[in-house]
Structure 1
């Protein structure tokens, strides 16, 4: 009898599970179908306290191009590429040639910064994304339950600095409009010249302390990033 009791118990459990599945077959099937459809459509799915938002989508290539062109133009204003970047450009180098040099450096800086942050936080960084009513985010990722919005600014050298404050204001307005909670902005500054780091770091370290959305300042040099990922310096001698 003592050997039959466990068998009976097992049979009862199997019967109970089979009865539940039979009784609630339609609701369970409908739930699974709905869940699969939401995932395929990109709708939000919660897992514990976290949520993958259906707002985030890849930014349109044209919008990416326009944003990058604006960033490059900011850097170009007031800069001397021959002096600051050491490029072998003739004195009569065309404006398009100057822009091409700066664009290459800007894209490299952005790529290496996002790689560095991805390695640091140990999570994938979504690049060039948008939630629909914003100018686009250079990067966005979730770490430790916090949403991180990345903005990369490249400094070729002394001269007029990129519009850092305007960028932070734009991101802050977008984050507040979307109602994103527990979000911070990672403001990543990339410098060609290490000697320029100190003055800008001191100027910006407290500039955004009272911002509605917390701002984390991260400072890099191009040499530091190239060394981290084994990228050769393309400066012509």
Structure 2
């Protein structure tokens, strides 16, 4: 009789890893169901605090408003990236004013892009920039909806540019989030094209290259690409902003 039990256990041995996996799945589902309401309440609070421009700290993520110096440095870097090799006279034409005012023009473009995403997702977005925990990574905005945190990065395209800096920034954001094992996040990359200076063929080529590169470097944090023309944003969203004010 003892021998038969040994034979039975030996026969079941190959199924032990499968049984263990099944138990882990049941445990994860049970924990998710048990803490589902608390998780929803947490993400709702994150959304509220982000909309108010307050910092948010949880065991797995810290979001908040960086200092004025850090925000200025991020804006300076982005402007330098987008205006590199563009003559000052062309920058003056961009905002129908002096080249010195391009900074405020760039901030307006970012604001319009965030408004477009807010309208698409019916969400309230903090526009004061957002910092990710224990890092120097600052993004343009964030919001949460349906228990998912969305991180927003805006890129203004005035001239043909390489995709390397864009991909590099996305990898930096992804790796920072993954370092804390946070995967309930999506990144929205918003591309704003000045279609007076950018050809449609280039726009389509850039987006295709970005999608291809992101496909080959896929992680648990997906990147959603949204593209708008500056002319569209100005015609559709600027009148709404003026009416609200």
TM range (shorter): 0.5 to 0.7
- Pair 182,79 (structure 1): closer, same or farther in 2 beyond 3 Å: same
- Specify the alignment match of 1:6 in structure 2: none
- Pair 84,157 (structure 1): closer, same or farther in 2 beyond 3 Å: farther
Distance, in Å, in 1 between the alignment partners of 2:174 and 2:164 is 17
Gaps of 5+ in 2: 1-35, 47-55, 241-245
1:73 aligns with 2:80: yes
- The CA deviation at 1:173 is 1.5
Does the aligned pair in 2 maintain the 1:141–1:148 contact within 8 Å?
A: yes
Does the aligned pair in 2 maintain the 1:197–1:219 contact within 8 Å?
A: no
Distance, in Å, in 1 between the alignment partners of 2:95 and 2:190 is 28
- The CA deviation at 1:231 is 5.1
Does the aligned pair in 1 maintain the 2:95–2:102 contact within 8 Å?
A: no
- The CA deviation at 1:83 is 4.2
Give matches, 1:115-130, under 5 Å.
Answer: 115-127=115-127, 128-130=129-131
- The CA deviation at 1:187 is 0.6
- Pair 214,186 (structure 1): closer, same or farther in 2 beyond 3 Å: same
- Specify the alignment match of 1:190 in structure 2: 192
- The CA deviation at 1:80 is 3.3
- The CA deviation at 1:150 is 0.4
Q: 2:208 aligned to 191, 194, 202, which one?
A: 202
Q: 2:64 aligned to 54, 57, 62, which one?
A: 57
Secondary structure in structure 2 of the residue aligned to 1:175: helix
Does the aligned pair in 1 maintain the 2:163–2:206 contact within 8 Å?
A: no
- Specify the alignment match of 2:24 in structure 1: none
Q: Output the aligned Cα RMSD.
A: 2.9
TM norm structure 1: 0.67
Give matches, 1:88-237, under 5 Å.
Answer: 98=99, 100-127=100-127, 128-132=129-133, 133-158=135-160, 163-193=165-195, 195=199, 196-209=202-215, 210-212=217-219, 213-230=221-238
Q: How many residue pairs align between the two structures?
A: 181
- The CA deviation at 1:49 is 3.1
Does the aligned pair in 1 maintain the 2:141–2:152 contact within 8 Å?
A: yes
TM norm structure 2: 0.65
- Most deviating of 60-69 and 151-160: 151-160
Distance, in Å, in 2 between the alignment partners of 1:207 and 1:162 is 10
Does the aligned pair in 2 maintain the 1:123–1:143 contact within 8 Å?
A: yes
Does the aligned pair in 1 maintain the 2:191–2:226 contact within 8 Å?
A: yes
Does the aligned pair in 2 maintain the 1:76–1:102 contact within 8 Å?
A: no
Q: Give 4+ residue runs of structure 1 displaced > 6 Å after superposition.
A: none
- Pair 83,57 (structure 1): closer, same or farther in 2 beyond 3 Å: closer
